[in-house]
Chain A
Amino acid sequence: MLDIDTLAAQAETLSKKLNISKYDISGSAIDSTSVQIDQGKPKQVKASQRSSVTVRVWNDAGTIGIASTSDIDMEGMELALKTAKEASNFGNKENIPGFSPEAKTPVADLKHPKVAPLPVNALIEKLAAAETELLGAHEAIDSLPYNGISQTESEGFYVNSDGARRVDGGTSAVTYLYTKAQEEDRRPRSAGAYRVGYGVEELDLKGCIAETAEKTISHLGYDKIETGKYTVVFSPEAMLSLVGAFSNMFNAQNILDNMSLSDKDSLGKELASPKLSVYDDELHEANIGASTFDGEGTPTRRVALIEKGVLTGFLHSAGTAKRLDAKPTGHANLGAKVTVSPNFFHIAGGEGGDLSLETAENVVYIDELSALHAGVQAMQGSFSLPFDGWVVNKGQKVSVESATVAGDIRELLKNIAQVDVEEKQTPSGVAPHIWVEGLSITGE
C-alpha cells in the first residue's frame, strides 16, 4: 500500500525543482480480489492493485491547475506536477479555493476492524455453496447470472505544502446474488440482494441467500398493475436512492452554479413533511467504507440536512463554505473545480402511525428503483422510473410485472404520510420505510 511519508517527501523535492510553492495531493491505493462462479465452478477471478493521485498546484498568479496520474513513482509525479502547473495557466480566476481551514484539525478515530483477506479458493467455495442453496430454493430458479464476492483493502491520503498529512483506510467485502427464474409459459423473473462487511468471513451470506430466494419466489406470481394513483411504500433502499438522485437540493456547489432545486436562501424553509429528517453522516457506524476526511483534508462529520421537514443544512467544500459563510462539512472531491457530493445518508426513523402492510389495501411497495441515470430529471425535480415491487393488499403481496412510478421530488417529500419507526442499515445509507400518497404508477 502507500507510503505517505515517501510520497510527501517526493512531492516536496519535486515541487522545489519545479518552482511550485503551494500544492496539495489527494489519492488512494486499492488492492482487491473478486470471484464469480457459474454452476459451481469459477467463471472469472479478478485481482487488482491500483493507485491514483490528484495533484493541485497554485501558480504565482494564484490560479490553480490539477492533474491525475496512476504513476506515483518520481517520474510519474514529476509529470503530474508539470502538467498541473501548465493547466494552472488556464485556471479560473474567480473564486479560487485555498487549503481547507480544517486540513490539520483532528479527525475521528473510527476503530474499524481491518480483516485479513481470505484465499481465493475460500471465496469460490462460499459462492458455490450459495449458488447451490439458491438453485435448490425453488424449481423455477434456473441460474445466478450475476453473482460475486469481493474483498478490498484501501487507503486514502491527503497531504499539502502547509504540512497537512492525513491517511486512513480499511478493509471491506461485498457479496451479491442475483437470480433468474422462469416458470413454463411465463416471463422470466429475477431478484437479488447484497451484503457488505469488513471482511468476507463476517458477510451475512445466509441472510443474503434467504433474501434473494424470498424475493425471487415472490416475483414468480406476477400480474399487471392498473395505471393510476397509488399510495406507495418505499423500501429503505429505494428511498435512499431517490434522495441521492436529487441530492443537488443539499449541494452547495450546485446551488452556487444555479444547478440545484434549492438556492442559498432556501435554508430554514419547509422542504418536506414534518415527519421527515435527513442527515448525511459519513461516520455512521453502518458505513463500512467510511473515510475520516474528504478530498481537501477536511474532517468528515454528521450534517443535518432536513429536520422535521425544514431544510437545515448544505453539503460544503472549503470553497463553497467560504462563499456562503458556512463551515466546510467534509464533502469535497479534489479537482480543478472542486465538486461536492453526499457521503452516507441517514434518514431518521419517524414516529410511525396507523399505516401497516398488514392492513393497508392496494398499496404499492417499491423495493428497488431502476435506471435512475436515465429517468431522473434532477434539475427539474421530476422522475419517471421503472421499479421492482409488489401490490400489497392486507398483507398479501402480488409482484408487479412491469411498471413505472413518476412524480416530482418536492411534491413527494411534502406528501409523506408516514415514516416508519424502524431503521434499516443498507450499504448506501440508513433509512426506515416511508409511505407516500398519490404517486402515479403506469402499468397496463
Chain B
Amino acid sequence: MVVAPPMLTSTISNSEAAPAKTNFGADWEKTFSTLLGLGRAAGADFIEFFLERVNYINCLAEDDAITSIAPRISTGAGVRVFVGQADCYVSTNDLTFKGLKLALEKALSIMGLQLPAPSAFVPEVYLEPLRDYVALRGKDAWLDGCSSMAEMGDVLLAANGQLNKTASHVQARRAAYFRDWQEVLVAASDGTFARDMRLTQSVGYNLLCADGDHRSSINKRVGSTGEPGFLRNWAYSNDAEEVADSAGKMLYAGFVESGSYPVIMANEFGGVIFHEACGHLLETTQIERKTTPFLEKKGEKIAHENLTAWDEGISPNAFGTIDMDDEGMPAQRTLLIENGILKNFISDRAGSMRTGHPRTGSGRRQGYSFAPASRMRNTYIAPGEFSMDDLFGSIDKGLYCKKMGGGSVGPTGEFNFAVDEAYLIENGKITKPQKGATLIGTATDIMDKISMCSKDLGLAAGFCGSVSGSIYVTVGQPHLKVDGITVGGR
C-alpha cells in the first residue's frame, strides 16, 4: 500500500493555476480540495465556495420600437467560513487561484483565524465526484437554443402590435423580456462538489390606458425555467386579450370603500398572500430572528383545517424550480402545512445548524455577492374540494381580488398586498370593478380564515426579495375564500 504524502502549506503557491473561469467542471477539484484544506487547517469548522457565471439579457419594446437590448455578463465567487454557528461571507470577481485564496484568507481573518505556518500540513478535502446536473439533464445546449437578439425583437414587436389591436384608450404599451442564464459550481469541506445550470426566462406586458382623468395600468408576466424555446412559444395573443380586458374594465373603476370584507382571491398570483403572510414566516431565517409567530408551532394547528400547503423545487419548468440549491443540495418537495397542521420549515444549511430543523434544499441567493439563506421555491396552497359557485355563493357582500399586485410582511407578521384588479361581490355575483384596494392583516389571523379552497390550482411566476437578494419563485393557489380581511381604500 502506498500512502499519499501530505501537503505542506509551503508547497502552495499563489501563482498556482486555477482552471479557466469559463469552464466550471471537474477540473476545479484540485483547486477546491487545496483551498478547502487550507481553510480547515486554519481552524474553520466548515468552508464553502460558490462560483457563478451569468449571461443575462433583457429586451424592451415600447409601442412599435425596440428601445432597449441590454446584455450583462458577470463572473464571481463567494467563500463562506463557519466557526461554530457564526459565519463570514466574502465575495470577489477574481476567480484566479490567488484571488480565491485571498478571499479565503480575508474570511478566515475576519473570523479570527489565519492560514497555518509554511511548515504545517494541509489536510486537503476529498470531494465527491462532480455531481453535474448540466450533464445529467442535458443542459449544455440551453443557451444556444434561446432566442437570438433578432428573434427577441421580432417577437416583442409582434406582441406589442397585437396588444394595440386588442386594447382601447392606449396611452403606452410595453412588452418586456429577459433571459437569465446562470452556471454555478459549489464545493464545500463536507465533500460537496456539484455543478448546475439554470435558465430562467420571463416575458410580459405593461399596458397604460387613459381617458381624460381616468387611468388604468395592468401588468401581466409569465415565466419559465429550462425551456430554451420559451419566448418563441409565447402565446401572446391570449395575454394581450387578458391585459386589454382588465385595463378596459379598470379604466372607469371606482375606489374601493375601506372596511372589513370577506374576500375571494383568484388563483395563480393570488398565491402571493400565502407567500407573504405565511411562507416567509416558515423560513428558518425568521426562526433564528424569532420574528415568526410559528416559532414553536411544529405539529400544531396554525391554519384552517381546509388548508394544505407545499414548497418544492421540482415542478417541471416552474419559475422556482431548481435541480440543486445554492449549497449543492438536491431540491425536494416539502410539505409545509397539512390540513392546518404545521409540518415543516424551509431550511438552508446555516438555518438548520442554528435551529435544528432539517435542510430542505432551500439555500438560495441572487448571485455570488450574497450568502445563501432559507428561501422559498414553488410555494402554493393545495387544491380543495369546493366549487367556484360554493365560494361566491357564500358571500353577500365582499371583494373579488382577481389580480394581485405585490406585497410584503414585516418583522411582527403584519402583511399587506396591493390589489391591481378587484370587483365587488354582491349576493354571490361579481359586479362593479374597484381600484385602490390594499389588504392588510397578520399571519396568525388570516391563516385561520382561509376557509374554502376550490379545485383550480394555478401557479404564477414571481420575484422575491429578501436577505439573500432577489430570486425567482412560483406562487400559487386555487381560488380561495378568506372569511374577513381589512381592506384599505378611500
Q: Is B488 an interface residue (CB 8 A)?
A: yes
**B residues near A, CB below 8 A?**
60, 62, 65-76, 86-94, 106-107, 110-111, 149-150, 152-153, 171-172, 208, 215-217, 255, 258-259, 288-291, 293, 369, 371, 405-408, 410-414, 416-418, 435-438, 440-442, 486-490
A259–B289 contact, CB under 8 A?
no
Q: How far is the CA of A66 from the CA of B414 in the complex (A)?
A: 42
Chain A, residues 381-412, CB within 8 Å of chain B (1/0): the string is 11011100000000000000011101100000
For B149, list chain A residues within 8 Å (CB).
86-87, 89-90
| 5 contacts across the A-B interface (CB closer than 8 A) | A33-B110, A90-B152, A227-B258, A379-B208, A384-B437
Residues facing B in A173-195 (CB within 8 A) are 178, 180, 187-190
Q: Which of A18-26, A44-52, A296-304, A428-436 participates in binding chain B?
A: A44-52
Tell me the minimal C-beta distance from B71 to chain A in angstroms.
Answer: 5
Q: How far is the CA of A92 from the CA of B156 in the complex (A)?
A: 14
B489–A384 contact, CB under 8 A?
yes
A47–B289 contact, CB under 8 A?
no
B290–A70 contact, CB under 8 A?
no
Q: Is A374 an interface residue (CB 8 A)?
A: yes
A336–B490 contact, CB under 8 A?
no
A70–B71 contact, CB under 8 A?
no
A48–B406 contact, CB under 8 A?
no
B68–A79 contact, CB under 8 A?
no
A190–B68 contact, CB under 8 A?
no
Residue in contact with B488 in the complex, picked from A41, A66, A442, CB distance below 8 Å: A442
For A187, list chain B residues within 8 Å (CB).
412, 442
Residue in contact with B418 in the complex, picked from A76, A190, A227, A375, CB distance below 8 Å: A375
Q: Which chain A residue has the least Cβ–Cβ distance from B414?
A: A402
In the complex, number of A-B residue pairs with CB atoms less than 8 Å apart: 224
Q: How far is the CA of A31 from the CA of B144 in the complex (A)?
A: 35
For A440, list chain B residues within 8 Å (CB).
258, 489-490
B74–A70 contact, CB under 8 A?
yes
Residues facing B in A60-86 (CB within 8 A) are 65-72, 76, 79-80, 83-84, 86
Residue in contact with B89 in the complex, picked from A45, A86, A87, A146, CB distance below 8 Å: A45
Q: Is A42 an interface residue (CB 8 A)?
A: yes
Q: How far is the CA of A259 from the CA of B60 in the complex (A)?
A: 15
Residue in contact with A44 in the complex, picked from B60, B171, B371, CB distance below 8 Å: B371
For B65, list chain A residues within 8 Å (CB).
92-94
B413–A442 contact, CB under 8 A?
no
For B60, list chain A residues within 8 Å (CB).
337
Q: How far is the CA of A404 from the CA of B251 in the complex (A)?
A: 23
B412–A374 contact, CB under 8 A?
no
For A243, list chain B residues within 8 Å (CB).
none
A386–B440 contact, CB under 8 A?
yes
B172–A257 contact, CB under 8 A?
yes
Chain A interface category by residue count: 35 or more
Q: How far is the CA of A28 from the CA of B475 in the complex (A)?
A: 35
A259–B107 contact, CB under 8 A?
no
Tell me the minimal C-beta distance from A228 to chain B in angstroms.
Answer: 9
Q: How far is the CA of A80 from the CA of B490 in the complex (A)?
A: 50
A371–B489 contact, CB under 8 A?
no
For B412, list chain A residues within 8 Å (CB).
180, 187-190
Residues facing B in A255-298 (CB within 8 A) are 257-259
Quick one: given A47-B110, A50-B93, A145-B290, are A404 and B88 in contact (CB under 8 Å)?
Answer: no
Q: How far is the CA of A93 from the CA of B111 in the complex (A)?
A: 54
Q: Which chain A residue has the least Cβ–Cβ distance from B285?
A: A145
Residue in contact with A382 in the complex, picked from B153, B410, B414, B436, CB distance below 8 Å: B436
B416–A374 contact, CB under 8 A?
yes
Residue in contact with A374 in the complex, picked from B259, B407, B486, CB distance below 8 Å: B407
Q: Which chain A residue has the least Cβ–Cβ distance from B250?
A: A380
A38–B110 contact, CB under 8 A?
no
Q: Which chain B residue has the least Cβ–Cβ distance from A336?
A: B68
B436–A143 contact, CB under 8 A?
no
A47–B411 contact, CB under 8 A?
no
Q: How far is the CA of A86 from the CA of B65 in the complex (A)?
A: 18
Q: Is A335 an interface residue (CB 8 A)?
A: yes
Tell me the minimal C-beta distance from A376 to chain B in angstroms.
Answer: 8
**12 further interface pairs, Cβ-Cβ under 8 Å (given A71-B75, A374-B408, A386-B416):** A33-B110, A46-B90, A50-B369, A67-B71, A76-B75, A80-B73, A84-B71, A145-B290, A188-B412, A380-B215, A386-B440, A442-B487
For A92, list chain B residues within 8 Å (CB).
65-68
For B75, list chain A residues within 8 Å (CB).
70-71, 76
B414–A442 contact, CB under 8 A?
no
Q: Which chain B residue has the least Cβ–Cβ distance from A178?
A: B411
Q: Which chain A residue has the least Cβ–Cβ distance from B405?
A: A374
Q: Which chain A residue has the least Cβ–Cβ distance from B150?
A: A90
Tell me the minimal C-beta distance from A88 to chain B in angstroms.
Answer: 9
Q: How far is the CA of A193 from the CA of B216 in the complex (A)?
A: 36
Q: Is A377 an interface residue (CB 8 A)?
A: yes
Q: Is A370 an interface residue (CB 8 A)?
A: yes
Q: Is A203 an interface residue (CB 8 A)?
A: no
Chain A, residues 29-43, CB within 8 Å of chain B (1/0): the string is 000010000100111
